[in-house]
Amino acid sequence: MQFAELREQVVAANLALVEAGLVILTFGNASIADRAAGVLAIKPSGVEYETLRPEDVPVLDLASGAVVAGDRRPSADAPTHLFLVRAFATMGAVVHTHSPYATAWAQARRDLPCLGTTHADHFRGPVPVTRALTDAEIEADYEVQTGAVIVETFANRNIDPLAVPAVLVASHGPFVWGASVEAAVENAVVLEDVARSSYRSISLAGDIEAIAEPLLAKHFERKHGAAAYYGQPA
Amino acid sequence: MQFAELREQVVAANLALVEAGLVILTFGNASIADRAAGVLAIKPSGVEYETLRPEDVPVLDLASGAVVAGDRRPSADAPTHLFLVRAFATMGAVVHTHSPYATAWAQARRDLPCLGTTHADHFRGPVPVTRALTDAEIEADYEVQTGAVIVETFANRNIDPLAVPAVLVASHGPFVWGASVEAAVENAVVLEDVARSSYRSISLAGDIEAIAEPLLAKHFERKHGAAAYYGQPA
Amino acid sequence: MQFAELREQVVAANLALVEAGLVILTFGNASIADRAAGVLAIKPSGVEYETLRPEDVPVLDLASGAVVAGDRRPSADAPTHLFLVRAFATMGAVVHTHSPYATAWAQARRDLPCLGTTHADHFRGPVPVTRALTDAEIEADYEVQTGAVIVETFANRNIDPLAVPAVLVASHGPFVWGASVEAAVENAVVLEDVARSSYRSISLAGDIEAIAEPLLAKHFERKHGAAAYYGQPA
Amino acid sequence: MQFAELREQVVAANLALVEAGLVILTFGNASIADRAAGVLAIKPSGVEYETLRPEDVPVLDLASGAVVAGDRRPSADAPTHLFLVRAFATMGAVVHTHSPYATAWAQARRDLPCLGTTHADHFRGPVPVTRALTDAEIEADYEVQTGAVIVETFANRNIDPLAVPAVLVASHGPFVWGASVEAAVENAVVLEDVARSSYRSISLAGDIEAIAEPLLAKHFERKHGAAAYYGQPA
């Protein structure tokens, strides 16, 4: 089988989303880019997770989007994944779920504010919500335009996609990513966790202020900065 | 055993509701119509799911409602199922649950608005809530009138029951359906999921507007329209 | 072992509460009255459910409260159970939990209104909240007074304890009962379910009206009345 | 292996937090002090719970904080644990989680009020929230200052740390403790339970008053006072 390891990793990542409780039915997809080989492997469309095998995973040419291995139709969201991976050179993997709390924020069309240190450990500021797509964008080329509005959001707000590796697509749900697929899945798990706790904090206290910049920086840097000291030395 | 396959499917559908977390105790029922044979098979009343066997499943004449196979009493809600299946020729199976979030909306007597794409994938617009039954309707022929008020709701609002395959019966809970029993169960699972996310979106943002018609159409059509491209080719 | 069957039933009922997710740690207790024998068997105090054996279950004289079998200390709440069973002749078993949604209502010191048919199937009207105990009642004879304030609530509001087999003790949590222990456990499960759905309905719609009396009567009577038609004939 | 029993207890306590659903990923840590030996054993930083073995558990000198056994880097929060154990002589173990409801309160920067008897059984009054750290505190010596602000909170409000064995660190999450590690873990479980029920009570009834002092005293004393009568005699 071509791209065997890559396709096995895609299966494992999709199953990890199910085990973490982030997806139901067939509503989620994970993809991994192999930039050296110039390809992206992604979940096939509408296939149940229990029966997903590596040979079912389509492999797409990163530049053209053409299927170069596998005979299943790729996820309907593949054009969004491709758009993101092309636009953001540091991105190694993309995860799309409809995890319940993150989706609630996306449907509410609100940024997820940074209210605590678990958020700050993974996302260096609010997780932004996109603008709604225009009717023309929806009708012409919907999945490509979904990628485009994510990139537009990060450009307009000058956000580094590895500092805030997630977005809430308005009226839709989260896309999450990372340099590695392990990081992308972990970020998706944490996004749901903080979407949940911040939903409840706002219920308790109304529109509280985000945490102060020094606390945000402290937590993000102790995990991700040059002087990180969380975890074991490599 | 008569109607063996049909009755096995009814057992499987009822168990699928339990596994999906949509019912507790004996509070839910699924039925399947076999229009060629002119019958409807439905869960027996008050029987625990763990002990439910195909031979326990009553089979009713679709026209008269008389039991034509099986010696258990049918679900108390059988007259509602029969009314729906007679009124809506495209309906192949009906599911009734008290799944928690959908029931919360039904008790709140509010339509479930379409706030996101998972909703739009399955329900082409809001899931309507019925009016309350009158005292006379409750006292005369309660379960039949429950069916009638559902049909009235779809007629008055000019909704195609396969485009919006669910209803919230006021102060009661959801009835959900589909052309096939697999579709009916999936729609029940998705209804609960979107009832949950939209409950939370409204908590976060108040009475937000439903999604725009082009986005609603796009998502429904990419799964259900003539030009559907979600999932694998048949 | 004396009262072997009764004590086995008490163990089974306590484990059923854990399996239904109604209690954590050691925070719940079930008791069963054997009126012919003049005794009440109840969970021992502070014993973990996993290790609970029939011989650990204390058996109390119904009239005096003295332990007549078993060498473990009874639940600290035993005087409340005894008070209830003495006051209400139709009561066969009592269950006390801190199930999360019912406890939220008890802490909020609000009656649980009847907003839907699942509630009406089991509780013929609102589940009442007691008044707070006075300082003197707390200091003198706390657990007995907890029973007394429950009985006072039902007397003042003229509620039949088998028509509404549950109460919310203010700032504390639910006590639930039934003619049989199976009914008591089922009522505890349903109380938590409707406490949850009605919490959410009120979040969605504010202080909505309770369901109309005919619908309440219809559902309660179809399960419990002389002309009940839910379930299989006996 | 040095300190074998102590390090095995630390592993067991950390796993108990996972089993109780209080932590996800690697986001929580438990430590135990052995005052006779002058050491504190704590979870290593960023190690997954499934792979955690006693020999991975670092043992620190209680006075200096230096690692005296084990070759893994201690939890990044170790300076907070050390600060607490040094300041509070009655404390035998410390647990830090981001359990979801307690974290929601911490992010909302609200004291968790005592609204019911389960709270009163374990915490003799509100669980306090700390003030936010100053920028200087965050930048200089963050984890030490987190311990200091906890101690300051208990000193300013004159709270006995064994009467209220938990705190909500503002914009962060709970630290919980006890005389023994079993008590610390139980307190963490109960904190999450009461953070949940009180969140919901406030949603139902707004800012209700805390329970009266006699009820609070009654419940705390029946479990912890000199005349405690909950549980079995020792």
CB contact under 8 A, A98 and B233: no
d(CA C141, CA B174) in angstroms, rounded, equals: 47
Three-state DSSP at D156 gives: helix
Find the mean pLDDT for residues A213-217: 93
CA distance C199 to chain D (A): 7
Nearest CA to B23 among B121, B102, B91?
A: B102
Give the domain ranges of chain A: 4-221
Measured between CB atoms, does B222 come within 8 Å of chain A? yes
Q: Is the pLDDT of residue A25 over 90?
A: no
CB contact under 8 A, B171 and C231: no
CA distance A111 to chain D (A): 16
Query: pLDDT tens per residue, chain D (234 residues)?
Result: 899 999 999 999 999 999 999 998 888 999 999 999 999 999 999 888 999 999 999 999 999 999 999 999 999 999 999 999 999 999 999 999 999 999 999 999 999 999 999 999 999 999 999 999 999 999 989 999 999 999 999 999 999 999 999 999 999 999 999 999 999 999 999 999 999 999 999 999 998 989 999 999 999 998 887 888 888 886
The 8 Å CB, 24+ separation contacts for C155-161 are C157/C128, C159/C125, C159/C128, C160/C124, C161/C88, C161/C90, C161/C91
Chain A CB contacts of B198 under 8 Å are 104, 107
- ipTM computed for the complex: 0.94
Residue of D nearest to C26 (CA): D231
Closest CB to A116 among D45, D76, D172: D172
Measured between CB atoms, does A33 come within 8 Å of chain D? no
Structure tokens at D227: 């005349």
**How many A/D residue pairs have CB atoms within 8 Å?**
88
Can you list the residues of chain C whose pLDDT is less than 70? none
Q: Among C215, C219, C223, which would you mutate to test the B interface (most chain B Cβ atoms within 10 Å of its Cβ)?
A: C215
CA distance D124 to chain C (A): 15
DSSP type of residue C1: -
Q: Determine how many CB atoms are found less than 10 A away from the CB of residue D37.
A: 15
pLDDT on residue B17: 95
Chain A CB contacts of B178 under 8 Å are none
CA distance B194 to chain A (A): 9
CB contact under 8 A, D107 and A208: yes
Residue of A nearest to D27 (CA): A118
Residue of A nearest to D100 (CA): A197
pLDDT on residue A6: 98
CB contact under 8 A, C232 and B72: yes
Q: Note whether D190 and D121 are within 8 A (CB).
A: yes
Measured between CB atoms, does D126 come within 8 Å of chain A? no
What torsion do the CA atoms of C65, C66, C72, C78 make, to the nearest 10 degrees?
Answer: 10
Closest CB to D45 among A200, A205, A232: A232
d(CA C101, CA B89) in angstroms, rounded, equals: 41
pLDDT on residue A78: 97
Measured between CB atoms, does D72 come within 8 Å of chain A? yes
Q: Is the pLDDT of residue A131 over 90?
A: yes
Measured between CB atoms, does D63 come within 8 Å of chain C? no
Percent of chain A with pLDDT over 90: 88
Assign 3-class secondary structure to chain A.
CCCHHHHHHHHHHHHHHHHCCCCCCCCEEEEEEECCCCEEEECECCCCHHHCCHHHCCEEECCCCCEEECCCCECCCHHHHHHHHHHCCCCCEEEEECCHHHHHHHHHCCCECCCCHHHHHHCCCCECECCCCCHHHHHHHHHHHHHHHHHHHHHHCCCCCCCCCEEEECCCEEEEEECCHHHHHHHHHHHHHHHHHHHHHHHHHCCCCCCCHHHHHHHHHHHHCCCCCCCCCC
Q: Is A123 left (phi over 0), alpha (psi -120 to 50) or beta?
A: beta
Structure tokens at D66: 């230096």
CA-to-CA separations, B206 to A87, A104, A132, B203, C203, in angstroms, rounded? 35, 12, 18, 6, 11
* Angle between the N-to-C axes of helices B181-205 and B4-19, in degrees from 0 to 180, rounded to the nearest 10: 20
CB contact under 8 A, B205 and A110: yes
Measured between CB atoms, does B234 come within 8 Å of chain A? no
Q: Is the pLDDT of residue A234 over 80?
A: no
Chains near B with 3+ CB pairs less than 8 A apart are: A, C
Cross-sheet strand order for the sheet of A39-42: A67-69, A59-61, A39-42, A28-34, A93-97, A173-178, A166-169
Q: Is the pLDDT of residue A9 over 90?
A: yes
Closest CB to D201 among C107, C138, C202: C107
pLDDT on residue A155: 98
Q: Among C171, C175, C196, C198, which would you mutate to test the D interface (most chain D Cβ atoms within 10 Å of its Cβ)?
A: C171
Provide Rg for chain B, Cα atoms. 17
What architecture is domain B4-221? Answer: 3-Layer(aba) Sandwich (3.40)
pLDDT on residue D118: 95
Can you list the residues of chain B whose pLDDT is less than 50? none
pLDDT on residue C185: 97
CA distance C224 to chain D (A): 31
D19 vs A207, residue with greater confidence: D19
Residue of C nearest to B28 (CA): C118
Chain B 176-215, residues with CB within 8 Å of chain A CB atoms: 186, 189-190, 193, 196-198, 200-205, 208, 211-212, 214-215
CB contact under 8 A, D98 and A214: no
Residue of D nearest to C73 (CA): D232
pLDDT confidence bin for A228, thresholds 50/70/90: confident
CB contact under 8 A, A200 and D25: no
Find the mean pLDDT for residues A195-209: 94
CA distance B212 to chain A (A): 8
pLDDT on residue C15: 96
Measured between CB atoms, does B115 come within 8 Å of chain A? yes
Q: Across-strand partners of A226?
A: none
pLDDT on residue B128: 98
Closest CB to A201 among D44, D47, D104: D104
CA distance D100 to chain C (A): 15
Chains near C with 3+ CB pairs less than 8 A apart are: B, D
Separate counts of helices (H) and strands (E) for chain C: 7, 7
Q: Which residue has the tokens 């900065």?
A: A225
Chains near D with 3+ CB pairs less than 8 A apart are: A, C
Chain D CB contacts of C53 under 8 Å are none
Closest CB to B116 among A47, A138, A172: A172
CB contact under 8 A, A214 and D138: yes
Closest CB to D46 among A117, A201, A230: A230
CB contact under 8 A, C116 and B173: yes
Total-model pTM? 0.96
d(CA A8, CA B153) in angstroms, rounded, equals: 49
pLDDT on residue D127: 98
Closest CB to C135 among D115, D202, D212: D212
CB contact under 8 A, A186 and D25: yes
Q: Among D55, D107, D200, which would you mutate to test the A interface (most chain A Cβ atoms within 10 Å of its Cβ)?
A: D107
DSSP-derived pairing of the beta strands C59-61 and C173-178: unpaired
